[in-house]
Amino acid sequence: MPINSIRTLLIEDNPADAGLIRQALVDVPNATFEVEWVDRLHPGLARLATGEIDLILLDLILPDSHGISTFTTVHVCAPEVPIIVLTGLDDEGLALKAVREGAQDYLVKGQVGSRSLVRPMQVAVVRHRLHGERIEVLLTDELTGLHNRRGFLTLGEQQLRLADCTQTRSALIVAGVEGLDQINSRFGRPEGDRALREIAGLLKKTFGAALVIARPGGDEFAVMLENSGAHQAEDAVSRFQTELDARNARGDSAFPLAVSLGVSVYNPACPCSLADLVAQAASAACAHRRPSPGPSAAAGLAEPSGATLPGLSASPEGETPQYIGESEGMENGAKPGGCAHPGSTL
């Protein structure tokens, strides 16, 4: 997207100030600034949840939110979007505090013209993108291109805070590759790495829209699905199993791939930590993990079986699948701190 085209969300309760800002952006030559205006914080948060906003212009004093908490709430709910604070002459101290806490810049209302507005907006977007690119390198697993452990923990926490802001559930899926040590021993480490890349590719194909797809370490993967409960997670796991079964059925690899899966659901009405959510999913996976199979005659590995959770399509309508735990507690008894995948780094 060219830098002279910025999709902007203006959160400002004063119609006159909002009109001046929108007019200033209309008057910019050779540029297009799409501005959406809301006059309250909560409609702004709802709009941010739908995505496709490049920049936020934010008044800190709104009818439904006041002071630095306005910035904090928006920043937590949309950490990937740069924020420029709008302030009055008597509120510059508050604006500076917001900058110290992560705002890109601040502008004084009443002193905003086309030139004084556009340049800070462009700089804010560029600076935020460059910072994001540097952070992305730190959060990426070199082998698979997915997020690494640091990326999972950082983005996972953000996902839970977003769930709190929007009062929607989020599902966590953990996946452990079965028999990776056998693959490494029999076929060599490069083939083991290829197996991990294959699983990563299947996860991206299945969960491409997810904000968090990660390999926290070793043979373990994790996916977080926003605005998803138990049955959405069940459908997603079923799609992944179909892709994995199709891969194994092709028979073009020296070995099959098998994955153990567990799911937990974050409920903002009964919040828990990311660590507890991971433990619930790992415990659910452990409860339904098959005993390690003996070597097969052909390859010394498990027979092609795809994902190792049985009966994904057998759950009666309205019944929560047994391999899914939830932050409010599920009938399967999944609790923080249970059995985890061998060598777990989650």
Q: What is the CATH number of the domain that holds 310?
A: 3.30.70.270
Which strand ranges, in their side-by-side order, compose the sheet holding 83-87? Answer: 32-38, 5-11, 55-59, 83-87, 105-108
Residue 331 lies in a domain: no
* For the chain, percent of residues with pLDDT exceeding 90: 38
**Beta-strand (E) ranges in 168-277?**
170-178, 212-217, 220-225, 258-266
pLDDT digits (tens, 9 = 90+) for 63-114: 999 889 999 899 888 888 999 999 886 777 888 888 888 888 888 887 776 6
User: What would the two tokens of residue 160 be?
Assistant: 């839970």
Task: Return the higher-pLDDT residue of 129 and 173.
Answer: 173
Domain match, 100 and 175 both: no
Domain match, 118 and 225 both: no
The domain boundary, picked from 73, 107, 138, lies at 138
Domain match, 215 and 86 both: no
Is the per-residue pLDDT at 274 higher than 70? yes
* Number of domains present in the structure of the chain: 2
The mean pLDDT of 168-191, rounded to a whole number, is 92
| CA–CA separation, 177 and 2 (whole Å) | 41
Task: Return the higher-pLDDT residue of 288 and 301.
Answer: 288
pLDDT digits (tens, 9 = 90+) for 325-343: 555 433 323 333 333 343 3
Domain match, 127 and 157 both: no
Looking up residue 33, the CATH number of its domain turns out to be: 3.40.50.2300
Domain match, 166 and 259 both: yes
Cα-Cα end-to-end distance for the chain: 36
Which domain does 250 fall in, by range? 149-326
Domain match, 129 and 156 both: no
Q: What pLDDT score does 121 carry?
A: 81
Q: What pLDDT score does 40 carry?
A: 95
Lowest mean pLDDT segment, chosen from 116-130, 184-198, 297-311: 297-311
Task: Calculate ∠ Cα 332-268-65, nearest 5°.
Answer: 175
Task: Return the higher-pLDDT residue of 125 and 156.
Answer: 156
Residues 6+ apart with CB under 8 A from 152: 212, 214, 216, 222, 346
| CA–CA separation, 326 and 174 (whole Å) | 14
Domain match, 200 and 288 both: yes
